[in-house]
Structure 1
Amino acid sequence: MTTFDDRERAFEAKFARDEEMAFRITARRNRLLGAWAAEKMNLTAEEADAYAKAVVQADFEEAGDEDVIRKIVGDLTAAGVEIDDGQVRKALEEMAVEARRQTIESM
């Protein structure tokens, strides 16, 4: 039975590591997306940093990416930047690739 128990513990540990990695990548992606949006809104460095953190926090409102996309589109529109969901989704995909690369390189 110990071999089975060892395998079970190994699978559980791998699952936990994979979930933590996914969380880190998503948080990093959201921070990069926030920085991208802050640049479009011409925010100062301090404002941009605070805004990027706010975007990361916005992801905790509901499951999925819709809360983040809604925040970015709403904020950019309020700032007078012409943008639509498609452009934000494209940036979100680009930031996901970059966030994965940065996270993997930092390990």
Structure 2
Amino acid sequence: MTSFDDREKAFEAKFSLDEELRFRVHARRARLFGGWIAGQLGLSGDAAESYAKDMISADFEEVGDDDLLAKARADLAAANKALDDATLRKQIGVALSEAKRQLVGE
């Protein structure tokens, strides 16, 4: 095996690890954001955990934050809770930062 082959395999392995980490960060971000929304909706315990898991599923419907925002907006509106997009986007950013922090610590 040549050094080129070794480098190619190393790059492929790094790419695979980076993609796995990116996936885990986004899933964790969705769960953390879902937990925050659950709190805004007055959910706790198993209901809050279930809601956070539902948010993970919603996160993989589209690329970007629109899927998270759409679910959050709809659920908040159904509960007669009003939060503006700026607040929701800020919280997604907070959740992303926390997800990265948590996963780097693992």
Q: Which residue of 1 aligns with 2:3?
A: 3
What's the CA shift for 1:35? 0.4
Within 5 A, what are the aligned runs for 1:15-30? 15-30=15-30
Q: Which residue of 1 aligns with 2:44?
A: 44
Q: Which residue of 2 aligns with 1:101?
A: 101
Within 5 A, what are the aligned runs for 1:14-93? 14-93=14-93
Give a deviation string over 1:12-61, Cα, whole Å, max 9, x none: 10000000001101100100000000001101311100000000000121
What's the CA shift for 1:76? 1.2
Q: Aligned equivalents of 2:44 and 2:97: distance in 1? A: 26
Q: CA RMSD in A?
A: 1.0
4+ runs deviating over 2 angstroms: none
Q: Aligned equivalents of 2:86 and 2:73: distance in 1? A: 10
Question: Taking structure 2 as the reference length, what is the TM-score of the superposition?
Answer: 0.96
Q: Aligned equivalents of 2:58 and 2:5: distance in 1? A: 39
Which structure 1 segments of 5+ residues have no match?
A: none
Q: Which amino acid in 2 is paired with 1:90?
A: K
Instruction: State how many pairs are aligned.
Output: 106
Identity over aligned residues, as a percent?
A: 49
Q: Aligned equivalents of 2:34 and 2:81: distance in 1? A: 14
Question: Taking structure 1 as the reference length, what is the TM-score of the superposition?
Answer: 0.95
